């Protein structure tokens, strides 16, 4: 089938595109530069130069495709609206990428015991309220003759299959450990994030394209770890002696920026992929700690 994928040169979009190409689909990918166009073309993706603000180009690409995968931005309302309006009445699937920070709790590195699945009520933080509202808008298009589906990954790890090989959080922690000579977390490091391997995540996209009902929403996770546990594994992997260090929130903000420090590196986001497993998703890649100590990060 013909797939149009935004974010085709990115970590998630590029990996999903590679997986779909391997399954025999034809993928056209939105890219912002000639350099990225050349890079994705080398991986079997037909590039389409443009941005998420090019509504007319997005509409034309959606009309020409059998499947649309939006992996460029979880928050760009204009692009989402243009694509969904183009698909209205077509019955075609629209697979949108969100993120489990929608249930995130700022905690300055302290543990939260709140755990969410797809049936849980969500009261987002002010930083994620617009994303949750956009998710609701996307799912409302199930009543407009297309098949909107949202996949909401937790912390993603592992080597990507496309042009961009790395995710965000784990490489940030590894880079900081190399810089300081010791891994470091924000606050007490007790905050927990669910996580999912990129190899498992792409199989959920393929399964959702094949089987998910209109209006479906899926968390994607296969385990969870505290930031302290992740940093301990990084120290072991790098051969750094002693336990990881604690940073103040001010130090963390200086390293990563206030938003990343507060809403990602020092927050909790604990989810369970109940509906994804009910759909038939069977994650089987190595765990985050195993990937750090024995896999691509080593």
Total domains in the chain come to 1
Q: What is the mean pLDDT of residues 80-89?
A: 98
Is residue 7, in this structure, part of any structural domain at all?
yes
Choose among 77, 81, 83: nearest CA to 48: 83
Q: What is the mean pLDDT of residues 261-288?
A: 97
**C-beta separation of 198 from 155 below 8 A:** no
Is residue 186, in this structure, part of any structural domain at all?
no
At 221, phi and psi to the nearest 5? -155, 155
Is residue 97, in this structure, part of any structural domain at all?
yes
Residue 52 lies in domain: 2-105+115-160+195-221+272-278
Q: What is the mean pLDDT of residues 56-62?
A: 98
pLDDT tier at 33, thresholds 50, 70, 90: very high
Query: Which DSSP letter does residue 286 get?
Result: P
Q: Which long-range contacts (CB under 8 A, 24 or more apart) does 43-50 make?
A: 43/14, 43/17, 43/18, 43/162, 43/163, 44/18, 45/5, 45/8, 45/17, 45/21, 47/8, 48/4
pLDDT tier at 54, thresholds 50, 70, 90: very high
Does this model's pTM top 0.85? My answer is yes
pLDDT tier at 59, thresholds 50, 70, 90: very high
pLDDT tier at 72, thresholds 50, 70, 90: very high
Is residue 124, in this structure, part of any structural domain at all?
yes
List, in order, residues 6 or more apart from 30 with CB less than 8 Å away: 4, 5, 6, 7, 8, 48, 50, 51, 52, 58, 61, 72
Q: The domain that contains 75 carries what CATH number? A: 3.40.50.720
pLDDT tier at 171, thresholds 50, 70, 90: very high
Is residue 266, in this structure, part of any structural domain at all?
no
Q: What is the mean pLDDT of residues 153-176?
A: 97
Is residue 71, in this structure, part of any structural domain at all?
yes
| pLDDT above 70: percentage of residues in the chain | 100
Residue 25: its pLDDT value, please? 98
Mean pLDDT of the chain: 97
| pLDDT above 90: percentage of residues in the chain | 98
Is residue 250, in this structure, part of any structural domain at all?
no
Is residue 249, in this structure, part of any structural domain at all?
no
Residue 56: its pLDDT value, please? 97
């Amino acid at each position: 089938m013909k797939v149009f994928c935004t974010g085709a040169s990115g970590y998630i979009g590029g990996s999903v595109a590679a997986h779909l190409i391997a399954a025999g689909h034809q993928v056209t990918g939105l890219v912002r530069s000639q350099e990225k166009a050349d890079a994705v073309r080398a991986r079997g993706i037909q590039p389409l130069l443009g941005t998420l603000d090019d509504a007319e180009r997005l509409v034309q690409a959606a009309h020409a495709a059998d499947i649309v995968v939006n992996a460029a931005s979880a928050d760009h309302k204009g692009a989402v609206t243009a694509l969904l309006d183009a698909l209205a009445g077509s019955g075609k699937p629209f697979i949108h990428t969100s993120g489990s920070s929608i249930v995130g709790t700022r905690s300055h590195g302290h543990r939260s015991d709140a755990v969410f699945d797809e049936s849980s009520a969500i009261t987002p933080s002010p930083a994620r309220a617009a994303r949750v509202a956009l998710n609701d808008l996307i799912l409302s298009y199930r009543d407009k003759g297309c098949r909107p589906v949202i996949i909401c990954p937790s912390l993603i790890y592992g080597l990507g299959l496309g042009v961009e090989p790395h995710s965000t959080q784990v490489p940030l922690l590894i880079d900081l450990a190399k810089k300081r000579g010791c891994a470091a977390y924000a606050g007490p490091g007790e905050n927990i994030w669910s996580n999912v391997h990129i190899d498992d995540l792409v199989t959920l996209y393929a399964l959702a394209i094949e089987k998910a009902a209109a209006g479906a929403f899926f968390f994607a996770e296969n385990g969870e770890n505290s930031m302290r546990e992740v940093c301990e594994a990084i120290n072991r992997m790098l051969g750094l002696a002693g336990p990881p260090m604690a940073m103040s929130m001010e130090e963390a903000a200086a390293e990563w920026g206030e938003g990343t420090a507060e809403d990602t590196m020092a927050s909790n986001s604990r989810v369970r992929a109940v509906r994804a497993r009910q759909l038939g998703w069977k994650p089987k890649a190595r765990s985050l700690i195993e990937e750090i100590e024995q896999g691509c990060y080593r």
